[in-house]
């Protein structure tokens, strides 16, 4: 597969002619050869987006809505190609590929509905015969830095919402999934976006810092949204802060799943399997910690382990039936194996699964995990989860909050009032009572607390992220002044 940059709706090579390769995580074979943008390409993309903003920002809501609805249809039509690209580039199963495309298309349609929801207000004033009001206006060029793990959903939200609000976008794709991301950019352009409204840039891994530095510093770029690790998010925030540019950051997670003593165990296990092992746990919302009341711990762990043992792991390019595909790279397996060994040495027990073999790993559950183990604190980002046994609600809440992260959480209990009380006390941007930690609906605000970032995607919250509020008054020209 080949990938070009997309600037002014034209596919172009990098100014330097440089390319890079993306290899399949299992076979190591080259699956994509991509243009590798440099600083000059980044500058050209930003200049183009800045020029396009002058006209796109003046378009009416109906025009923007029509383009977005068409983009959703174009994206759905590419479901086969995108799923194949995801399998080749990032080891995604057919389930994860199809889910990504359909969810992204629905998100784009929801974004289209927001074009008529961008509203100001009138404000009471003490000045006679004066109208005081606010307007919401497009911001300018938005830099959207998108990861590889949910490549279609996360790209769709980073593009569709800013465009719905009248902005233009530089889509900085992941070097791990260049072809997957290129298909998404193509869908928007094929839908009728004018030149420069969406420019697609991807760089070689060793050029990332220079390209992103250039884009953040460019005067046309007014806001940045980034989805990725907390480590890189801090760097993006620091660079943006030096340029006095606002960020929307969706970062790492260590999602707790609290199982209360009155939980529906079968329902909890269903949610646990989905929330833990979908896309081999490489989702920021994946359930990394099960905080289980000791009264039901044995029952829950036994049922959870039996279900997990049935999940097939492998290469979706070879076995389309596998649920757990490969991790993104061998370094992930090495890192997780070290975490498992550390936990075992400190008293944890493997109840199902085991160590990673390169990039392939079975569904793995560690019981009796405690503070002091690396895996208790650090994000695993793989098909492994932990059981922490607790006694009572207060300890469950304390353990659930004993993390630097605060993105997603779940609580299972038959007493809905009690479960809601627990949900309110958990430090997370979204908490689901009797539901999985992996959830996202485009009409509901999505984002984190603590080291999981700040700002909100989805719902009406994105209007705040991608518009400027302007205060305007209309006053009598002949009004008196004290001086």
DSSP annotation of 332 reads H
Q: Would you call 214 a catalytic residue per the annotation? A: no
Q: How far is CA 401 from CA 233, 256, 301, 396, in A?
A: 21, 8, 21, 9
Q: Which of 214, 247, 284, 322 is catalytic?
A: 284
Helices (H) and strands (E) in the chain, counts: 15, 23
Q: Phi/psi at 291 (nearest 5 deg)? A: -100, 100
Closest to 6 in 3D by CA, of 135, 197, 210: 197
What does the block give as tokens for 131?
């109208």
- Distance from C-alpha of 12 to C-alpha of 473, rounded to nearest angstrom: 46
- Distance from C-alpha of 322 to C-alpha of 87, rounded to nearest angstrom: 12
Kindly list the strands in the beta sheet with 121-122, ordered across the sheet, starting from the edge strand earlier in the chain.
Answer: 121-122, 131-138, 467-474
Residue 358, Ramachandran bin (φ over 0: left; ψ between -120 and 50: alpha; else beta): left
- CB within 8 A of 338, min separation 6: which ones? 374
Alpha-carbon radius of gyration of the chain: 24
Element (H, E) at 31: strand 30-35
Contact 332, 384 (CB under 8 A): no
What does the block give as tokens for 39?
């600083």
- Distance from C-alpha of 109 to C-alpha of 467, rounded to nearest angstrom: 19
Using a 10 angstrom Cβ sphere, with 0-12 exposed, 13-18 middle and 19 or more buried, the burial of residue 58 is: exposed
Q: Phi/psi at 243 (nearest 5 deg)? A: -100, 10
Q: Would you call 284 a catalytic residue per the annotation? A: yes
Q: Which of 89, 110, 250, 288 is catalytic?
A: 250
Contact 459, 445 (CB under 8 A): yes
DSSP string across 350-396: EEE----BTTB---EEEES--TTSHHHHS---SSEEEEEEESSHHHH
- CB within 8 A of 178, min separation 6: which ones? 3, 22, 32, 34, 89, 202
Contact 121, 134 (CB under 8 A): yes
- Distance from C-alpha of 81 to C-alpha of 152, rounded to nearest angstrom: 12
- Distance from C-alpha of 173 to C-alpha of 421, rounded to nearest angstrom: 40
What does the block give as tokens for 9?
């709706």
Residues designated catalytic: 250, 284
């Amino acid at each position: 597969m080949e990938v070009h940059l997309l600037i002014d709706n034209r596919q172009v090579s990098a100014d330097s002619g440089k390319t890079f390769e993306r290899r399949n995580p299992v076979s190591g074979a080259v699956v994509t050869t991509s243009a590798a943008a440099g600083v000059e390409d980044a500058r050209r993309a930003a200049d183009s987006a800045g020029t396009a903003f002058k006209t796109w920002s003046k378009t009416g809501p109906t025009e923007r809505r029509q383009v977005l609805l068409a983009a959703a249809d174009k994206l759905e039509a590419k479901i086969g190609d995108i799923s194949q690209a995801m399998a080749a580039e990032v080891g995604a199963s057919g389930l994860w590929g199809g889910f990504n495309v359909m969810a992204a298309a629905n998100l784009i349609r929801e974004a289209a509905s927001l074009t008529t929801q961008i509203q100001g207000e009138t404000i009471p004033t003490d000045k006679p015969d004066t109208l005081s009001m606010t307007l919401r206006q497009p911001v300018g060029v938005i830099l959207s830095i998108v990861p590889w793990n949910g490549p279609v959903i996360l790209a769709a939200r980073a593009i569709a919402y800013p465009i719905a609000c009248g902005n233009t976008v530089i889509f900085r794709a992941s070097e791990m999934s260049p072809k997957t991301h290129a298909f998404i950019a193509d869908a928007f352009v094929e839908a009728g976006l004018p030149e420069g409204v969406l420019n697609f840039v991807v760089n070689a891994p060793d050029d990332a810092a220079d390209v992103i530095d250039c884009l953040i510093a460019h005067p046309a770029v007014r806001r940045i949204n980034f989805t990725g690790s907390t480590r890189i998010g801090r760097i993006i925030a620091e660079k943006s802060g030096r340029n006095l540019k606002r960020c929307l950051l969706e970062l790492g997670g260590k999602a707790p799943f609290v199982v209360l003593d009155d939980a529906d165990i079968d329902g909890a296990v269903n949610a646990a399997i989905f929330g833990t092992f979908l896309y081999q746990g490489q989702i920021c919302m994946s359930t990394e910690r099960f905080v289980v009341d000791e009264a039901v711990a044995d029952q829950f762990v036994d049922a959870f382990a039996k279900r997990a043992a049935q999940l097939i792991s492998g290469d979706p390019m070879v076995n389309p039936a596998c649920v757990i595909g490969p991790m993104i790279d061998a370094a992930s397996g090495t890192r997780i194996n070290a975490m498992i060994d550390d936990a075992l040495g400190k008293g944890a027990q493997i109840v199902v699964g085991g160590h990673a073999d390169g990039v392939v790993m079975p569904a793995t559950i560690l019981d009796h995990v405690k503070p002091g183990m690396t895996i208790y604190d650090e994000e695993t980002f793989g098909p492994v989860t932990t059981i922490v046994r607790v006694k009572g609600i207060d300890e469950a809440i304390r353990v659930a909050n004993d993390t630097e992260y605060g993105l997603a959480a779940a609580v299972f209990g038959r007493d809905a009032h009690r479960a809601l009380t627990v949900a309110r006390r958990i430090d997370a941007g979204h908490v689901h009572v009797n539901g999985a930690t992996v959830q996202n609906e485009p009409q509901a605000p999505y984002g984190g607390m603590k080291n999981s970032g700040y700002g909100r995607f989805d719902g009406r919250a994105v209007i705040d992220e991608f518009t400027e509020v302007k205060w305007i008054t209309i006053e009598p020209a002949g009004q008196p002044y004290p001086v």
